[in-house]
A and B are shown apart, each in its own frame.
Chain A
């Protein structure tokens, strides 16, 4: 049993049989994998055949909190959705903030494991110990926001928190998201499609219990120390707080690293129009925090009267009068720069539609960008797309957002993600991603370390797995030259491992702009009552990284998948401050394998696995 942090109980729901069970958490695994992403990866590795169909009943979904989730440590809101991704067929770990994770913890569970497939549309209702599977036939077809309202009403409790899928998840859009608190999403890799394939519309949680702390006195002092450092740091205390993540738009654009027009160029003309600064000046109505977060990077925006009627989507006029969350940096990039669009109102609308319909704006935007390149080259034409898919068209963006979620018209092609779509139209070279997942908002030709991070990321291309943008561009904790490959293998490994640990703890990765494992370590120790040194925590991260890698091997991935599209490896950036650059992955990958203790094929060696307790 646990005397702090973990609740010690797992909830398991088999949707095929309707069986609901509660079981004790495996505390040996909890100590070795901590929680969240790590512990869920261990359970998924032990319980599921990775070769199973991502959209079949044998895929499992684990909704996992960490021991820090629900405490008053800053950014304690996180839960992870760990499953086989519908977009990638790789293990994925999509995380979200808001209030759902802490609520699950207060209901008494560290994790919820969902198995099988419900015979009819269903939702899971959790009110402390009372867990039921309810019919969702009346909810099928409803948007995220409608579902949130109805399920909360049906729960009869004002404080019920809902995570759910929208039409995109129901329609098995390959990059459908799971959305909680209306605007917070476990966004990437198609976790929403997996939920849709299970006929699972929503999970409503109300928890009246609490999270206990093993060593309160030690915890309080470490907790305050971290909070104070976050306030004092220029990124977590000022930049993110004042301008949200979109403060990066101008920084990355000026660095010549903002992929534009499906990575054809690396700077967007008029980028400032979609920056955090412009958002703050013109459309921002509030800053919003996730549960427990003292940074509050969330933006809430609202369209003024004259902008409400812009663009073609007029089906839900009420939505354009209310305050909506976003846009954040990643979606400002994907739906903005990558599509050549610099109209903030188009982004606000498309982003709100993604949240409302339950879709990952990164993969959606990047897939639309690939479609725009197909259109640009004549591989698809107006008779197929219905609307001109020209780079820079806000009309196309907003219209296609809705069409994609509902798989209408050309949206049905976009809904397959850019890898499948570009292959279908005979231009696989227009797919900009890794392991089937589209890149996020940093050009790997301009930031060498990001190329290695993308190529080796277990869940496919991702900005949240080894954010070496921090040292390479922002100089955190120390400045590295983004143009060189030297030292990048080492920093990438350290960042990947440390990130696994943060993702296992229940805290948000964004706090690592301001603090590191040195600050997390005493809090985690005090919460759980288990002594972890900082090297222990890095080893936890390495263990998690390797078990994900082994899971992927069993799913059929090999070292050959650790690569980047030809465009990034061979086609130099044509213009701007990074003109002439390509990503030199070949200079980094062998060293990375060696540092990881993997063989030349990228397979973990028996010695490495034994040293991590994974043999």
Chain B
């Protein structure tokens, strides 16, 4: 069983330590604009949700890349952009359904989460356990979360009808 990044949004306080840690890996500075994990803050819903690459089994970024610059790391299973081959066309950033492949204007290359060679800095930095790097069947935590949100939404609508 492979390890994957699991994100538990309910534990997130929106502190941005994951963005700081990731950007440090990318640029050697604390530069959240270059982080590959992003925290979205939804104030009115009191929801803070970090998200990053799921390392999809069927990775559309790889499929879209015209120069085969994205490969699979045999140790971690991460989809990794090879800087030597990347021509910076940005097709992978468009192909990704989750918006987790980015274009770096400084290097003029695509960049995305590579799981830090098996020791993700974001998970190490997270002070609340909202990001964990653990063994699991699937990295698709989003599916379970979406199911829950949908269920509660449907319930609220049904409740509304009943009332």
Interfacial residues, chain A to chain B (CB-CB below 8 A)? 70-72, 74, 99, 102, 106, 159, 181-183, 207-213, 216, 227, 231, 285-294, 296, 298, 300, 302, 322-323
Contacts and interface: CB of A to CB of B under 8 A. Distances in A.
Given A72-B17, A106-B31, 17 more contacts: A71-B30, A72-B20, A106-B32, A181-B43, A208-B31, A210-B23, A211-B29, A231-B127, A286-B47, A289-B13, A291-B15, A292-B20, A296-B13, A322-B43, A323-B43, A323-B44, A323-B46
Contacts of A208: 31, 33-34
B125 interface: yes
B127 A294 contact: yes
B16 A216 contact: no
B112 to A, nearest CB: 18
Contact of A227 (B29, B34, B47, B127): B127
Contact of A287 (B13, B29, B45): B13
Contacts of B15: 289-294, 296
Nearest to B128: A296
Interface of B: 13-17, 20-21, 23-24, 27-34, 43-48, 125, 127-128
Nearest to B34: A210
6 contacts: A209-B31, A210-B27, A286-B13, A286-B46, A288-B14, A292-B20
Contacts of B32: 102, 106
A213 B24 CA distance: 10
A72 B43 contact: no
A541 B151 CA distance: 55
Given A287-B13, A292-B20, A183 B43 contact: yes
A216 B46 CA distance: 34
Contacts of B20: 71-72, 292
Nearest to A301: B46
Contacts of B27: 210
A76 B87 CA distance: 37
A72 B14 contact: no
Contact of B21 (A72, A291, A302, A322): A72
Contact of A207 (B21, B33, B128): B33
B14 A211 contact: no
Contact of B46 (A291, A296, A302): A302
Nearest to B33: A208
A300 B30 contact: no
A211 B44 contact: no
Contact of B33 (A106, A227, A294, A298): A106
Contacts of B23: 210
Nearest to B124: A224
In the A-B complex, the 8 residue pairs with the closest CB atoms: A210-B31, A210-B29, A289-B15, A323-B46, A289-B13, A72-B20, A208-B33, A294-B127
Given A72-B30, A209-B31, A292 B17 contact: yes
Contacts of B125: 72
Nearest to A297: B13
B17 A211 contact: no
A599 B14 CA distance: 49
A286 B43 CA distance: 10
A159 B40 CA distance: 9
Contacts of B14: 288-289
Contacts of A298: 13
B127 A211 contact: no
B110 to A, nearest CB: 17
Contacts of B43: 181-183, 322-323
A302 B45 CA distance: 9
A210 B30 contact: yes
Contact of A216 (B13, B28, B44): B28
Contacts of A291: 15-16
Contacts of A182: 43
A323 B45 contact: yes
Contacts of A286: 13, 46-48
A300 B127 contact: no
A159 B33 CA distance: 9
A208 B34 CA distance: 8
Contacts of A227: 127
Nearest to A227: B127
Contacts of A159: 33
Nearest to A208: B33
Contacts of A294: 15, 17, 127
A148 to B, nearest CB: 9
B8 to A, nearest CB: 13
Contacts of B28: 212, 216
Contacts of A322: 43-45
A170 to B, nearest CB: 23
Contacts of A74: 127
Nearest to B29: A210
B46 A285 contact: yes
